[in-house]
Chains A and B, each alone.
Chain A
Amino acid sequence: KAGVTQTPRYLIKTRGQQVTLSCSPISGHRSVSWYQQTPGQGLQFLFEYFSETQRNKGNFPGRFSGRQFSNSRSEMNVSTLELGDSALYLCASSFSPGMNTEAFFGQGTRLTVV
């Protein structure tokens, strides 16, 4: 079956702009989580969605937001981009919330802010 699909794979934006990243989970998976990966901070949890509801949120400013649609696809949005937002953004999907179900990661979206 198809894996987790993240689009676009690469993105270059200017400071101050906003960006929307998309994640299509594995078919049948209803839980989607987002992570930011940077060389300095490593992998950090952004948020988690299940059944269109945000279930958990990490320690990020309000400029970072997300949503989930009825087909389980998820988007995350970053407004007023800063240079420090340059990162690999990873999406993970699982059948349901809970550590007893495996999370499958997409290849990520590489965001560069200039």
Chain B
Amino acid sequence: AQSVTQPDIHITVSEGASLELRCNYSYGATPYLFWYVQSPGQGLQLLLKYFSGDTLVQGIKGFEAEFKRSQSSFNLRKPSVHWSDAAEYFCAVGKEYGNKLVFGAGTILRVKS
């Protein structure tokens, strides 16, 4: 069965500092991997996705993620965090067919000025 682990429940970074959010997945075949962001009281917004090809994926809002098959990881990065990035971030994995996503528990990002 598919599963996603986000080891960090909370992360605090200073504005302007770099960010890395960790995600490990378990899936037998080539996974479809996603990062979503959720602001309080809002739905989920897709930041980026990986299906195949280049293992470094660029997304919106200056985010990128790197797929590492050997480590079963798909970590999210941003070189310089802005206060508006404070939100909860979810890593998710899906199969090729169907729209069932399995989400990690989420990481709450706090940005201090």
Contact = CB atoms under 8 A, between A and B. Distances in A.
Contact of B99 (A4, A44, A92): A92
Nearest to B45: A105
A103 B101 contact: yes
Q: Secondary structure of the A side of the interface?
A: strand
B70 interface: no
Nearest to A96: B99
Interface residues of B, number: 25
Given A102-B46, A107-B42, A45 B51 contact: no
B44 A90 contact: yes
B42 to A, nearest CB: 6
Interface in A34-82: 35, 42-45, 48, 55-56, 58
Interface of B: 32, 36, 41-46, 49, 51, 90, 92, 94-106
9 nearest A-B pairs in the assembled complex, by CB-CB distance: A105-B43, A99-B32, A43-B103, A105-B44, A99-B94, A107-B43, A33-B99, A45-B100, A56-B98
26 contacts: A33-B99, A33-B101, A35-B101, A42-B104, A42-B105, A42-B106, A45-B101, A48-B99, A48-B100, A55-B98, A56-B100, A90-B44, A92-B44, A94-B99, A97-B97, A98-B97, A99-B49, A99-B51, A99-B96, A99-B99, A100-B96, A103-B99, A105-B44, A106-B43, A107-B42, A108-B42
